[in-house]
């Protein structure tokens, strides 16, 4: 299942309820006005293969990412690259452009 909500002028934080979509394989939320942190519950999304969050105003620390993640584009890191990236054995594409590393 794919969820593409890019370019929709969404604002506010990413609702934690998104992580309850257990059959979600692709989540595209780029180019909105999302703020806050990426929910920790994203790490439990076992089916998620692709995550695109670029061009938002997300920040904070990403503590956990799905271990099957294959494509991670523009995750809007504000803090150092998280240790959770080291556990992504299936990762094929990682785009770290357009981040605000501190």
Distance CA 37, CA 50 (A): 18
Report pLDDT for 79: 64
The residues, ordered by sequence, that sit 6+ positions from 64 with a Cβ below 8 Å of its Cβ are 40, 42, 43, 44, 84
33, 58 Cβ separation under 8 angstroms = no
Report pLDDT for 1: 92
Global pTM value: 0.82
pLDDT digits (tens, 9 = 90+) for 22-38: 899 999 999 999 998 88
3-state secondary structure 31-60: CCEEEECCCHHHHHCCCCCEEECCCCEECC
Report pLDDT for 29: 93
pLDDT digits (tens, 9 = 90+) for 7-65: 999 999 998 889 899 899 999 999 999 998 888 888 889 999 999 888 888 877 777 78
């Amino acid at each position: 299942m794919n969820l593409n909500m890019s370019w929709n002028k969404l604002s506010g934080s990413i609702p934690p309820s998104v992580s309850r979509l257990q059959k979600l394989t692709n989540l595209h939320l780029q180019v909105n006005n999302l703020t806050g942190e990426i929910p920790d519950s994203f790490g439990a999304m076992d089916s998620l293969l692709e995550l695109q969050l670029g061009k938002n105003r997300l920040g904070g620390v990403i503590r956990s990412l799905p271990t099957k993640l294959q494509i991670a584009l523009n995750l809007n890191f504000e803090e150092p690259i998280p240790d959770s990236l080291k556990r992504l054995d299936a990762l094929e594409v990682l785009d770290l452009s357009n981040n605000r590393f501190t």
